[in-house]
Chain A
Amino acid sequence: MTPHDDEDRGPSRRKVLECMTWAGTGVLWTVAGGVPASLGIIDEAIGAEQKGFTFLQISDSHIGFNKEENPNAPGTLQEAIDRVKALPGNPAFMIHTGDISHLSKPAQFDDAEKIISQARLDVHYVPGEHDLVDPEAGKLYRERYGRDTKGAGWYSFDANGVHFTGLVNVVNLKAGGLGNLGAEQLEWLEDDLKGRSASQPIVVFAHIPLWTVYPQWGWGTDDGAKALGYLKRFGSVTVLNGHIHQVMQKVEGNVTFHTARSTAFPQPVPGTAPSPGPMKVPADQLEKMLGIASVTFKQNEQRLAIIDTPLKS
């Protein structure tokens, strides 16, 4: 086929591509049957395309915990799931950032599943340190939640154009150290992200904060900076963590960090108590300090919108 033959039959491929680059001026072209057609202004065009989607984050349900700070952890988890079911719209799925159980006992995992399954949503889990204390150091967790995962339970998946990576930073912890990802998982992560377009939104979730929140209480990950280094080139990164049983958010460049409330018990703000354990609050305050989070991705918006909702306002 010679070029002048193409010209005779209407716009050449090159011409169509040139037209496509005009999308930036507010006109979007599409090609149907080889003939370009304008869709009108960008907003309408995008409205007609893929809409945003919402997923949820819950964390630290600690089923099996029954001390005075909250004698009824299953009850408050039930409240959280009732809230999930009452949300307007349809969340696409849930992410649980770990400490599902309190002591990795089969009955505790069973009870958690009975309650969480009432949401009727797919749930993507990563383990907390409380989920790996069975005599075989995590075998129970992996049997239940480890299908299609690697190593101690890491994995990735794509949903609605967003890439999700579940990491495990609660294994092989060293004396005096913080959370730990380890060389094998970091190699896997680097490989998993390789070749992805920098414009693909990435969500990373793990139990212990990947950033240094408060090292005196172990709230950080020793080799977290390495993982964040692999994520640096992406235009939109969201890091979701749990473990500290309170909301903390930080934005650094293209990265939004967020930790979720627990559904079981609150912990103190860093430095305001001698240690990071369960914090006793008046009974009418407890549910204001427990909660869930919704995360909404909107097309062409760099930052995902995160809304934290307590069990009681």
Chain B
Amino acid sequence: MTGTIARLTRAATIFFAVLAVAPARAADISVKIANFTFDPPQITVKTGTTVVWSNDDDIPHTVTSTTQAFKSAALDTNDKFSFTFTTPGSYQYFCSLHPHMTGTIVVEGTTGSITPP
């Protein structure tokens, strides 16, 4: 009986220990669109992160990937666009209405690599 309890306790300890080091769910990251710029212009996130762009300008903008990975509708003032990045890599994007506005999202895998598997 003592052996079983000891085994169970050990198993439980190991179980909770594993839970403790498992990665927490990534919080949303915000990018502000203001004065015809993406702010911040470059960010690094982990896979599974949702990036939320929000337009603060008095003019519409879009969030358009240069590789067709994602594309928002025209965002008017206070409109938002979200995209969840599941694959590591470096994602360049721009505003298709005002193409001189550019930004980059760098997505790292859990190992810290940005190379897609």
| Bound pair (A, B) | yes
B98 CB-CB contact with A under 8 Å: yes
User: What mask results when residues 260 to 276 of chain A are scored 1 for a CB within 8 Å of chain B, else 0?
Assistant: 00000000000000111
Contact with A along B35-68 (1 / 0, CB 8 A): 1110000000000000000000111101010100
A278 vs B57: C-alpha distance when bound (angstroms): 9
**A175 CA to B41 CA in the complex, in Å?**
13
The reply on B85 being an interface residue by CB < 8 A is no
B100 with A277: CB separation less than 8 A: no
Interface stretch, picked from A17-25, A72-80, A128-136, is: A128-136
| Least CB separation from A62: chain B residue | B59
**Minimal Cβ-Cβ distance residue in A for B93:** A175
Q: Is the CB of B97 within 8 A of A133?
A: yes
Encoded as 1 (CB less than 8 Å from any B CB) or 0, chain A from 192 to 236 comes to 000000000000000000000001111000000000000000000
The majority secondary structure among interface residues of chain A is loop
Q: Report if B26 contacts A (CB, 8 A).
A: no
Q: Are A176 and B102 in contact (CB under 8 A)?
A: yes
User: Nearest Cβ distance between residue A290 and chain B, in whole angstroms?
Assistant: 16
Query: Contact check: which of A130, A177, A216 meets B99 at CB < 8 Å?
Result: A177
Per DSSP, chain B at the interface is loop
Asked whether, in the complex, the Cβ of B60 is within 8 Å of the Cβ of A102, the reply is yes
Q: Taking the complex as formed, is A69 at the interface, i.e. its CB lies under 8 A from any CB of chain B?
A: yes
User: Taking CB as reference atom, which chain B residue is nearest A215?
Assistant: B100
Cβ of A16 within 8 Å of any chain B Cβ, yes or no, is no
> Distance in Å from the Cβ of A52 to the closest Cβ of chain B?
38
Number of A interface residues in the complex (CB < 8 A) = 25
* Residue contact A277 to B60, C-beta cutoff 8 Å: no
Contact B73 A135 (CB under 8 A): yes
A141 to B83, CA, bound (A): 29
Query: Which of B35, B73, B76, B102 lies in contact with A274, CB distance below 8 A?
Result: B35
A103 contacts partner chain B, Cβ-Cβ < 8 Å: yes
Residues in B with CB closer than 8 Å to A102 are 60
- Residues of A close to B58: CB separation below 8 A: 67-69, 277-278
Q: Which residues of B contact A (CB under 8 A)?
A: 35-37, 57-60, 62, 64, 66, 73-74, 76-77, 92-94, 96-100, 102
* Known contacts A174-B99, A218-B100, A277-B58; 13 further A-B pairs (Cβ under 8 A): A68-B58, A130-B97, A133-B62, A133-B73, A133-B97, A175-B93, A176-B94, A176-B99, A178-B100, A217-B36, A218-B99, A274-B36, A275-B57
What 3 pairs between A and B have smallest CB-CB spacing?
A: A175-B94, A275-B36, A133-B74
**Chain A residues close to B by CB (< 8 Å):** 67-69, 102-104, 129-130, 133, 135, 173-178, 215-218, 274-278
29 residue pairs A–B, Cβ–Cβ below 8 Å:
A67-B58, A68-B58, A69-B58, A103-B60, A103-B76, A129-B96, A129-B97, A130-B97, A133-B62, A133-B73, A133-B97, A174-B99, A175-B64, A175-B66, A175-B94, A175-B99, A176-B100, A176-B102, A178-B100, A216-B100, A218-B100, A274-B35, A275-B36, A275-B57, A276-B98, A277-B35, A277-B57, A277-B58, A277-B59
